Chain A
Amino acid sequence: MEDKNKLKKRLIDYQMFWPLFALTVLLAFNFFFIKDFFAIEIIDGHLYGSLIDILNRATPLMFMAIGMTLVIATGGIDISVGSVLAISGAVVSIMIGGDMVFLNGEQQYVSHYPIVLALLAAIAVSVVCGIWNGLLVAKLGIQAMVASLILLVAGRGIAQLITDGNVVTIYYKPFFYIGSGFLLGLPFSIFLVAAFLVLILWLVKKTAFGLFVEAIGSNVVSSRFTGLNVQRMVWACYAISGLCAGIAGLIVASEVKSADSNSAGMFIELDAILAVVLGGNSMAGGRFLVMGSVIGALIVQALTTTIYAIGVPPEVTMVVKALVVVAIYLIQSQAVKSKVKTQATPPTLKSKEAQA
């Protein structure tokens, strides 16, 4: 039993090793090749610098990566997150907007609806989107990729309908705090993602939820036979993914002070999946690490920032991202192969299948 625990611990260490290693290599590269990369200045009591910038810009992606991790851990995938992000942004922008009024002779913008109501509405709509995906996947048993494809295709159309095809600009100042406000010298969104991460980690580590998700991802049929309510668990994961995309949508809308249903969150679902893969999670489901995905999101953003900083055309980012993922996959498969050889694990059903 003790040996088993040791092995498990080693595996977890192993899983976290590569993402951290990649991030370190990236940062080291920046340290040597980009001037003042690690410099952090204090302007107006706020911290500024490339590192803070990476953290700040990665927040929407971190949220999505957290949600995506859970979904992928159940053996599914949610490719609709970008569209959900657009929907969330559309809802919040149309509900807040900004009417100019004169208060005490001063020009001020007020929101259409109370800001809390707008935020709750946007999040509620996103969760409904997640529940919709969960309904298709868990209840109707449709392949996850296809099920979320439906919302991916329809989502942008729905967001366009909400905003009537316009780019809605937000003028209401308090709303900007979410995406570009500062708390204790740090961007506010970092605290948001930290709080959410703690909540999810608590859910995953301190309740049975994490274990259940892992069990479902490892083997659905046996999970059902052990009496797990598979449907409800999977459903919950998709709802959380929707929630994450919704919050990310709020942050993005608050950052750019508008909602562009056409381009908000375009291709971000791919970034989220990359973050999860970079975080050392298996696309096949089962064992998962939320922290790994968060670091994966940081890697994706650090990569983007690095590419901007060294002055290569930003479009190259896509090529580099893709090549990095391919490289990581190759390293992982090689590493797994040699591991299997050296450890000589007893043949399980899976490895037998692989051999055949």
Chain B
Amino acid sequence: MKNLRINTNFIPLIITICLFCGLFAIGSVVYRGFFSMQVVLNLFVDNAFLIIVALGETMIIIMGGIDLSVGALIALSTMIVGFSMANLHWPPALAILAVLAFCSLFGFVQGYLITYRKFQPFIATLCGMFVARGLCFLINQDTIPIKDPFFITVATTRIKLMDGAAISLTVVIAFVVLAAYIYLTHYTKFGRTIYAIGGNEQSARLMGLAVDRTKVLAYTLSGFTSGIAGIVFCFYMLSAFGLHAVALEMDAIAAAVIGGTLMTGGVGMVVGTVFGVLIEGIVQTIITFQGTLNSWWTRIAIAFLLLAFIVVQRILVIRRESKKRIRPVEFI
């Protein structure tokens, strides 16, 4: 019985992986030059920041919360990097440290408001998003190019893999973050507490878990992760702008859901989210290869995928609930 239940949790992830392979196969058959190592690697290269930010988002969603401030925090990170180096002549290391420290603090404040002031996560992070975007424009309303040699070196460095295919350093950063998140969610007390809170916060509290501390920590971690994503975004774009990464939080949430994370919390895996991002990337790649379709078809396709996965989740949950002979709650 126990095995069966775990299997149901894995169904969305299995569908996602199959879908990814299917999309890749279709692309390879239909378009010339699609079936190559570089196309696959480019999915990582172009979406490294999205992978990082979606990992943080996944952990928050597993905990039953939501973080809408991640996109704005990325924009603010680029702004801090651009401004501190161009105007204050800070060394790159100091700028990066400042970004990470500030984003962590930002996440901490949000976590504090949500946990101890009983703000709804939605509202608190919405406000955070407004504050972060507003701060961007307070710093500078125009684009600041990042011309620092260190940033340019990192941005242009390519690590050769087999067949002449190459990845950028940002992909390496993304994988390091992924490894850290896998360790955190599956092998630490912190991770298990996150799952427990997502399953049922009340029970987690009654079990004597450090719910409040974990929640604040998780939001702080999400802010920190957004900071890393922001720096990766700097490497990717080499510019700072207040309207970078608009609506990225929606992509991150979509990636988490497509990757099998339940929006109600308690169920999900960070590895699935990576596949969610890859599916978003491959949809974009197919539309680029197709050539005649407009780029907003990407949005529609992602929305359709999101819908399909949410419906699948719903059906699975309803089936599980009916097995337990509990009347399913119709809506929340």
Indicate whether A277 reaches chain B with its CB closer than 8 angstroms: yes
Q: Which residues of B contact A147 (CB under 8 A)?
A: 310
CB closest residue in chain B, given A137: B331
Question: With A and B bound together, what is the CA distance between A321 and B137 in angstroms?
Answer: 15
Question: With A and B bound together, what is the CA distance between A137 and B332 in angstroms?
Answer: 8
Q: Which residues of A contact B117 (CB under 8 A)?
A: 329-330, 333
Q: Which residues of B contact A161 (CB under 8 A)?
A: 294, 296, 300
Tell me the minimal C-beta distance from B86 to chain A in angstroms.
Answer: 19
| A323/B296 in contact, CB under 8 A | no
Given contacts A143-B264, A283-B120, contact A154 B299 (CB under 8 A): yes
CB closest residue in chain B, given A313: B137
What total of chain B residues lie within 8 Å of the partner, measured CB to CB? 53
| B127/A325 in contact, CB under 8 A | yes
Indicate whether A49 reaches chain B with its CB closer than 8 angstroms: no
Tell me the minimal C-beta distance from A168 to chain B in angstroms.
Answer: 15
Question: With A and B bound together, what is the CA distance between A333 and B120 in angstroms?
Answer: 12
Question: With A and B bound together, what is the CA distance between A184 and B117 in angstroms?
Answer: 48
Question: With A and B bound together, what is the CA distance between A158 and B294 in angstroms?
Answer: 11
Tell me the minimal C-beta distance from A284 to chain B in angstroms.
Answer: 8
Indicate whether B302 reaches chain A with its CB closer than 8 angstroms: yes
Tell me the minimal C-beta distance from A311 to chain B in angstroms.
Answer: 14
- Interface-centre pick from B124, B128, B254, B330 (highest chain A CB count, 10 A): B330
Question: With A and B bound together, what is the CA distance between A143 and B205 in angstroms?
Answer: 24
Q: Please report A residues at the B interface, Cβ cutoff 8 Å.
A: 75-77, 136-138, 140-147, 149-154, 156-158, 160-161, 165, 220-221, 224, 230-231, 234, 270, 273, 277, 283-284, 313, 315-323, 325-326, 329-330, 333, 353, 356
Q: Which residues of A contact B135 (CB under 8 A)?
A: 319
Question: With A and B bound together, what is the CA distance between A65 and B263 in angstroms?
Answer: 26
| B300/A158 in contact, CB under 8 A | yes
Question: With A and B bound together, what is the CA distance between A147 and B304 in angstroms?
Answer: 11
Q: Which residues of A contact B299 (CB under 8 A)?
A: 153-154, 156-157
Given contacts A143-B332, A158-B300, A165-B296, contact A326 B134 (CB under 8 A): no
Question: With A and B bound together, what is the CA distance between A270 and B129 in angstroms?
Answer: 10
| B137/A141 in contact, CB under 8 A | no
| A165/B294 in contact, CB under 8 A | yes
**Known interface pairs A153-B250, A329-B119; 6 further A-B residue pairs with C-beta atoms within 8 A, sorted by A's residue number:** A140-B314, A151-B303, A153-B302, A154-B303, A160-B296, A325-B127
Q: Which residues of B contact A143 (CB under 8 A)?
A: 263-264, 331-332
